[in-house]
Amino acid sequence: MPSIRKNPSTPQAPVPARRRMPAAEREQQLVEGAIRFFSRHGLGGQLRDLARELGITHTLLYHYFPTKQALLERVYKDIFEGRWRTEWETLLDDNRLELPEKLTQFYVSYAQVILEPEWVRVFVYSGLNDRYITDRYFALLHEKLFPRIHRETQKYLGKRSRKPPTERELERIMGLHGSVFYMGMRRWVYGVDSNPNISKLSKMDAIYIEDRVLAYLASLQPKKVKT
């Protein structure tokens, strides 16, 4: 069958010009791509490989982030510091709520923000690398969260001490916090979950969080001495 030759005089559809992306939008796109890249390959991943995966030149990436540390700083601010909500602090400071309800509401909301694959995996990879992100984030928790939980716990127990938590008290708080984070570890690091098709926090997850809060509160009660 003879091939059909196009009439050279037939006008061709114009190729749409590529939209020139504003610098701030391009930078945000690079950060989001870096978060996905580091969550898959770890923080030891090379920027040349990142640029190749993003389909850009190494030079363009360095134009926005001249060092890897500058990029990691932006990653931290974007998905760790940037996702912290001041309303969580307001919730924990609310004297109208009882502690079980207060902690459950907080951790359900907190889990909805952090128990995502990129957040969990980048955090774990940082702990295995140079701990730059994990150290900074734990500093944030020690400033904004753990003292509030300790203060509210003291009030729950009928105490008014303003002393910082003892090592044992802090360990209990860290145990509560870590048990919620483990839900994301189990899903996004170990790949083990009762329902692997769930990508977001489910109703059952909220119940599990309440169970963890109640277990924490039960651990505060003095042990009965056998006679």
- Confidence tier at 196 by pLDDT (50, 70, 90): low
Q: How many CB atoms lie within 10 A of CB 1?
A: 3
Residue 199 has pLDDT above 60, yes or no: no
Highest mean pLDDT among 7-11, 122-126, 192-196, 220-224: 122-126
Residue 197 has pLDDT above 90, yes or no: no
CA dihedral 216, 217, 220, 225 (to 10 degrees): -100
Element (H, E) at 157: none
Tally of residues, the chain: 227
- The string of pLDDT tens digits covering residues 25-82 is 999 999 999 999 999 999 999 999 999 999 999 999 999 999 999 999 999 999 999 9
DSSP for residue 162: -
